[in-house]
Structure formats: C-alpha cells, structure tokens
Structure 1
Amino acid sequence: MKFEGSSVVITGAGSGIGAAIARHAAAKGAKVCVSDLDGDKARAVAQEIGGMAFACDVRKEAQIKALIEAATSTQGEVDIFVSNAGLGQGEPDHAASQTDEHWNLNWQVHVMSHVYASRALLPRMIERKSGHLVTVASAAGLLNQVGDSAYSATKHAAVSFAESLAISHGDEGIGVSVVCPQYVATPLLGLSDEDAVSQPSLLTADDVAAAVVYGVEAGRFLILSHPEVQTYAIHRAKDHDRWVTGMQMLRAKAVDTFGSVQIENFYKLI
C-alpha cells in the first residue's frame, strides 16, 4: 500500500511516534487525519502538515467510529489506519501490584482500540479488496518489558490480534502490519531526540516512522525499527528457560545500577 494519494488515519498522533508517522505520511503525499486524546496537540500537528485533526478517546468504540466517519467524509475511504495510541506507567511494587483499573486501561488502549478500529473498517475494506491496518505494538509484545507486566501482556495480545487479522484477511486484499519498536526517545519515556544522539539502542520517533512507512509500502507484516529485536526473539524461541534467566539477570542489573527498576533507563543497559 502506497502512502501517496492515500487517506491515512493515525491515533495517538499528537506527539511521539504517531506525530512522526503523520509527518512522513504527509511528506509522501497522503491525506492525513491526526487523532489524539488531546485535541489541541492533534490540531497543532495537523496544522503543521496540512491535515485534519480529530480528538478521540480510543477506549471508546463510538469515538473511533466517529473518527473514521469524519475522516471518510473529508478524505475519502480510509486506506491506511495506524492504531498507535499507547501508554506506559510501570508497577508500584511486584508484578501483580497494579490496580484492576490500570490493567483495564492497558487492555482498552493496547488491545480493544485495535479491535474497534478493525470492526469499523474491515467490512468496507473487504468489500473493495483494499486497505491496510497498522498496529503499533512494542518489542515487549515479542519479548517483555521488565517492570510493567500490564504493558507487556497487552502488547503481546496486540501482536496476536494483528496476526489474526493478517491470517484471516490477507487473501481479501487487506494488508496488515505490526510495529514492534524497542526503546524510542518519546514523551512516553520522558526522552527527547537529543537523548538518542549518543545511545545506539535508543532511536528517535522519526527513525521509527521512517521504518513504518517503508514497511507498509513494502507490504511487511512485522516491522522492526530495531533489527536486534528479531535476534532476541529467536533466542527466546530457541531456549525459553535460558531467555528468562537472561531477563532475570537484566532486571538484577537494573536494580544494581539504578537502585530500582526504572523503565525509562533500561535503554542504557542494552
């Protein structure tokens, strides 16, 4: 699926990876709908790239439907939908210490938002035998994020749902991609592009956006902005016990180095 001339909708696009994808898509000649929970941020990015803005809470199916309807009426049928909105908070104590509310929030944002978008878009995409669904998951969806079990569990579910979409609808003209970046200098981690300059393991949002645009246009299912993630995933598959032991060692190293498990500092350890 080419971006040029396409109608593109991106959630969580008021900053970070979503905003970077919006800029790259617009530069490719796409008509872009910038969506974010924060309407002001969405409008700022949309004004910058000449797109449209729409405030949307992706936890609510009715709002995702309204987003798609607004984009369709303004830009035409949605060709590429990038389900990018996400969050990360970490754990106050042990791996099950977060509240039910927090687990439910992760489930709604990291899984059900993709389901809602697909539920709204698939019938029309199948009918015209065209369209591309992009899920921005995480390397945690293939591996694990130490110190955030809710994030890891729901990102695994997001990857699995993307696989189901690809398996079920690939022969109906629907493209599916799942993006699994590792550590990225975004507001989610409280980091900026300057932080990525001296850290090879830390990419900028622009780096990830470039990988997403290339991967979608190349028709790739798994888009890895950090190629090393594939190596880690292979090690995990070959010997899961050994991989878990290695992750235990990484966690211990984080505690020794930083005094606690601080997610925003993990990129310094790899």
Structure 2
Amino acid sequence: MRVEDKVVVVTGAAGGIGRALALRFAAEGAAGVLVADLDEAGAAAVAAEIGERALAVRADVTVEDDVRALVDAAERDLGPVDLFCSNAGVITGHGLDASDLDWSATLAVNTMAHVYAARAVVPRMVERGGGYLLNTCSAAGLVSCPGDAPYAVSKAAAISFAEWVAIHYRARGIRVSVLCPQGVRTRMMERGLEEDHVTARAVASSGAVLDPAEVAGHVVEGLADERFYILPHPEVAGFLARKVADPDRWLDGMSRFVESLT
C-alpha cells in the first residue's frame, strides 16, 4: 500500500498521531485526505494546512452513524476510500477504581470505533476489489499498560478485532495493519506526565518518546511493506517475544516494574 493517489480517512486527526498521519499522507501524494475529529476547529486547521485535497469533518467515532456519514462524505467529495485510519483514542489512568462509565467510554473509542469503521468501509472495499485498514492500537494492546486497566483491555480487544478482520477478509483483498507505539509526544502523554500518572511514567521509562511525525514515517514504511504489526518502538517486539516464550516470567518482571513506579 502506497498512499500516492489514494483517498485516505484519518480519525482523531486534529492533533497528535492523527494530525501527523494526515499531513504525511498528503506529503506522500494522497489524492484526498478526510480529517475527522470531535474537535471541529482542530480538524479544519489540519485540513487547511493540507489544502484543497483535504476535507474536515466533525465526527464522534463512538456513534456509528457519524462514522458512516464521514465515509459517505469522503466518497462524495474525495472519492472511494482506499485507506481508513481508525486512530482516535482515549486513556483513563485508572485501575480497579475505574468507573463503569470509564470502561464503557474507553471501550467505545478504543475498540468499538474500529468495529464501526470496518462495518462502514469493508463491504464497499470488497465490492471494489480491495482496501486497507490501519488501526491505532498501542503497544499496550500487546504487552499491557501499567496503571490503566480500561486502556490495556480496550487496546488488546482492538488488536484482536483487527486480527479477525484480517483473517476473514484477506482473501477478498482487504489488508489490515495495527499501529502499536509506546511513548509518543502528544498532548495526552504530556498531560499524563504533568499529572504524574503511573501509566505515563511507565511509558516514558520504557523507551524513547517519539515525535508524532516519526511515528507517521514508520506508518508509511509499514504500509508499503503491508505489515500487520507496525512497531515504531522496535523493543516492543522483544517484549512480546519474552511474553510468549515464558508468560510467568514476563508477569513477574512486569509486576516488579510496576512496583518500582509506585
């Protein structure tokens, strides 16, 4: 998958990784970029940076009708969607103290939004002979997330759903990648550090904190290779290998790591 001359949708694109993806796809020669976010003004600002090839749409990715509407808008004004980047995400910073509302809201954004995206675009892509889904899932979905139970669970579920789509639709021309970074210099990460969340401190101490533009570069490379796992932090592959090789030892190590942060 190369984005040149392709129509791309990016959700959660008013800032952070989403903004970086939208700008990089435009720089790579995308035929059109739909910039979607709850922050309407932020989405419009990113679209203005891109220029006439961009369209800004306010959308709540937890509302299936909104997701379908943004796909309709893209196909009406830009053309058939070749690549849908389901990128919007939230974090809570809570463990067992997370409320039912924390759980439902986090699962809605971090998991169900991917489901709504797939429902909206996969049938259309299959009819046209193929298409691509990129889901931002986080390293937390592979190796858990100290301090934030809803985030860890919702991101693991997002990866599992992406696997399911890849398994069932690969033969029909659908390709899927999951973007699984660790620390990225976004407002969400900065706010966590300011508030001294265990999650943010754990991520910051586990490896480099990348700029969103660096992550977007890794995405372009991963899409070109059509890799399922796009890992901007290569050490995540090592963490995952150790987890699979000896789960009990990995759990002991993670437990000691979390204790060192408290």
- Using structure 2 for the length normalisation, give the TM-score: 0.91
Question: Could you tell me which of 209, 214, 218 is aligned with 2:216?
Answer: 209
Q: Give the match's secondary structure for 2:98.
A: coil
Query: Which residue of structure 1 aligns with residue 43 of structure 2?
Result: 42
CA–CA separation in structure 2 for the residues paired with 1:227 and 1:170: 25
Q: Contact (CA 8 Å) 2:92, 2:150: kept in 1 or not?
A: no
CA–CA separation in structure 1 for the residues paired with 2:207 and 2:229: 21
Query: Once the 2 structures are TM-superposed, how far is the Cα of residue 130 of structure 1 from its aligned partner?
Result: 1.4
CA–CA separation in structure 1 for the residues paired with 2:251 and 2:101: 28
Structure 1 residues 212-221 or 132-141, which shifts more?
A: 212-221
Question: Could you tell me which of 213, 220, 223 is aligned with 2:230?
Answer: 223
Query: Which residue of structure 2 aligns with residue 242 of structure 1?
Result: 249
CA–CA separation in structure 2 for the residues paired with 1:37 and 1:57: 6
CA–CA separation in structure 2 for the residues paired with 1:213 and 1:101: 35
Q: Give the match's secondary structure for 1:22.
A: helix
Q: Give the match's secondary structure for 1:212.
A: helix
CA–CA separation in structure 1 for the residues paired with 2:89 and 2:187: 11
CA–CA separation in structure 2 for the residues paired with 1:164 and 1:108: 18
Alignment of 1:45-64 (within 5 A): 45-50=46-51, 51-64=54-67
RMSD of the TM alignment (CA)?
Answer: 1.1
Structure 1 residues 211-220 or 25-34, which shifts more?
A: 211-220
Which consecutive residues of structure 2, in runs of 5 or more, have no partner in the other structure? 192-205
Letter in 1 for 2:75: T
Which consecutive residues of structure 1, in runs of 5 or more, have no partner in the other structure? 192-198, 256-270
Q: Contact (CA 8 Å) 2:92, 2:106: kept in 1 or not?
A: no
Q: Contact (CA 8 Å) 2:125, 2:131: kept in 1 or not?
A: yes
Which 4+ stretches in 1 moved above 3 angstroms? none
Alignment of 1:1-270 (within 5 A): 1-30=1-30, 31-50=32-51, 51-91=54-94, 95-190=95-190, 201-255=208-262
CA–CA separation in structure 1 for the residues paired with 2:254 and 2:237: 16
Letter in 1 for 2:58: A
CA–CA separation in structure 2 for the residues paired with 1:190 and 1:40: 21
Letter in 2 for 1:22: A
CA–CA separation in structure 2 for the residues paired with 1:162 and 1:211: 19
CA–CA separation in structure 2 for the residues paired with 1:154 and 1:200: 22
The percentage of counterpart residues that share the same residue type is 44
Query: Once the 2 structures are TM-superposed, how far is the Cα of residue 200 of structure 1 from its aligned partner?
Result: 5.7
Letter in 1 for 2:107: W
Aligned length: 245
Q: Give the match's secondary structure for 2:81.
A: coil
